């Protein structure tokens, strides 16, 4: 990206400013937050791709005309959000969902006897993968129009041979054109890593709603539990850069051998 770009050359020093505010707009944000925003734009545009190194702090400081300390603080925030990963002696890299510290970030179901890594990757059984039209409810959550094309996936995830999660996923049809059941079933790594690699879509955050429910007959059959067994119902909307929703996921979790864990800080 050329240094003469308006968005990357407006800073004359490390002061607090607002790039978009006019004289009558009193909104201000710290400079490092503005640099973080510009770096997010580069991530979103694909200038820096998952797994690739981003420019050095010195190069970024020259590009944005700020100090290295300001750039470092912006990178600190991106690293805290698992958007980039620092590697000692090598530099800073765009995080991927294949990273050990990232790949389990969105899976909060933990075996009672250990952590997710201890039981190995999930075994995926794809029940269906088809293109559908968005109903009003799904369209609202994905910020699209009713009737737009979606890819809908239903699958069962098993751990150590035990079916544990029944999930329905809805994905925008344009971004996930060509997604097949075979592709989802055969990919060896995390699903979100496949989304990055095959479709260029990186999920960076998610919102979840959780409630307790009783298993209906069809759900109980797929999860191999008695009808009426307690399940954890989890609805997740996952977002890519710029808070754009890219996945709706509704899952039913068995909790007889697993529990939902969330680290709060």
Q: Given 94, 127, 147, which residue is the final one in a domain?
A: 94
pLDDT value, residue 222:
97
Q: Is residue 247 part of a domain?
A: yes
Identify the pLDDT of residue 50: 79
Instruction: State whether 90 and 115 are in the same domain.
Output: no
Residue 2, pLDDT > 90, answer no
Q: What is the CATH number of the domain that holds 81?
A: 1.10.10.10
Comparing 96 with 172, the larger pLDDT belongs to 172
**pTM for the model:** 0.70
| 112 and 204 together in one domain | yes
Which structural domain, as residue segments, surrounds residue 121? 103-260
Task: Calculate what percentage of the chain has a pLDDT beyond 70.
Answer: 81
- Over the chain, what is the mean pLDDT? 83
**pLDDT (tens digit per residue) in 120-144:** 678 899 999 999 999 999 999 999 9
Q: Quick one: average pLDDT of 51-66?
A: 93
Q: What's the pLDDT at 115?
A: 63
Considering the domain architecture, whether residues 141 and 198 belong to the same structural domain is answered as yes
Q: How far is CA 143 from the centre of its chain?
A: 16
Is the same domain home to 89 and 109?
no
The answer to whether 182 and 168 are in contact (CB under 8 A) is: no
Residues 176 and 89 reside in one and the same domain: no
Give residue 156's pLDDT.
96
Task: Name which residue leads in pLDDT, 31 or 258.
Answer: 31
Residues 108 and 15 in one domain: no
- DSSP codes joined into one string, 172-239: ETTTTTT--HHHHHH--S-HHHHHHHHH-----EEEEEEEEEEPPHHHHHHHTS-TT-EEEEEEEEEE
Tell me what pLDDT residue 99 has: 52
Q: What percent of the chain has pLDDT over 90?
A: 51
pLDDT of residue 79: 87
Tokens of 136: 């009003």
Asked whether residue 46 falls in the same domain as residue 107, the answer is no
- Return the pLDDT at 38: 92
pLDDT at 59: 94
Establish if 221 belongs to a structural domain.
yes
Residue 175 in any domain: the answer is yes
**pLDDT of residue 147 exceeding 70:** yes
pLDDT of residue 119: 64
CA distances from 80 to 73, 85, 238, 253, 264 (A): 11, 9, 18, 28, 14
Phi (first) and psi of residue 199, to 5 degrees: -125, 0
CA nearest neighbour of 155 among 180, 124, 197, 132: 124
Same domain, 74 and 35: yes
CA separation, residue 262 to residues 33, 61, 116, 166, 198 (Å): 27, 36, 13, 20, 29
Same domain, 120 and 236: yes
Both tokens assigned to 168: 């329905």
The least confident of 36-40, 56-60, 76-80, 117-121 is 117-121
* Candidate ranges 34-43, 80-89, 165-174, 239-248; pick with highest mean pLDDT: 165-174
- Asked if residue 151 and residue 243 are part of one domain, the reply reads yes
In a domain, 117, yes or no: yes
Q: How far apart are CA 172 and CA 59, in angstroms?
A: 36
183 assigned to some structural domain: yes
Looking at the structure, tell me whether residues 127 and 210 fall in a common domain.
yes
Tally of domains within the chain? 2
Neighbour count for residue 132 (Cβ, 10 Å): 13
Contact 59, 68 (CB under 8 A): no
Q: Which CATH number belongs to the domain containing residue 224 in this structure?
A: 3.40.1410.10
Whether residue 175 has pLDDT greater than 60: yes
Of 94, 120, 136, the one marking the end of a domain is 94
């Amino acid at each position: 990206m050329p240094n003469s770009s308006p968005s990357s050359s407006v800073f004359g020093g490390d002061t607090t400013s607002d790039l978009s505010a006019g004289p009558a707009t009193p909104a201000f944000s710290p400079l490092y937050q503005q640099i973080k925003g510009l770096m997010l734009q580069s991530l979103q545009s694909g200038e820096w791709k998952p797994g690739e190194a981003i420019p050095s702090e010195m190069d970024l400081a020259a590009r944005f005309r700020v100090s290295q300390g300001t750039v470092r603080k912006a990178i600190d925030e991106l690293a805290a959000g698992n958007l980039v990963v620092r590697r000692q002696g090598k530099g800073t890299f765009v995080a991927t969902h294949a990273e050990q510290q990232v790949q389990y970030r969105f899976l909060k179901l933990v075996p009672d006897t250990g952590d997710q890594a201890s039981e190995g990757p999930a075994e995926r059984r794809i029940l269906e993968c088809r293109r559908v039209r968005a109903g009003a409810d799904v369209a609202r959550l994905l910020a699209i129009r009713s009737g737009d094309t979606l890819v809908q996936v239903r699958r069962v995830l098993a751990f150590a041979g035990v079916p544990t999660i029944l999930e329905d996923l809805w994905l925008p049809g344009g971004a996930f054109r060509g997604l097949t059941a075979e592709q989802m079933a055969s990919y060896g790594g995390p699903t979100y890593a496949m989304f990055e690699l095959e479709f260029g879509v990186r999920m960076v955050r998610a919102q979840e709603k959780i409630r307790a429910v009783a298993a209906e007959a069809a759900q109980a059959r797929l999860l191999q539990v008695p009808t009426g067994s307690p399940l954890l119902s989890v609805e997740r909307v996952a977002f890519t850069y710029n808070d754009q929703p890219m996945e709706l996921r509704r899952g039913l979790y068995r909790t007889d051998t697993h529990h939902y864990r969330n680290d709060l800080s």
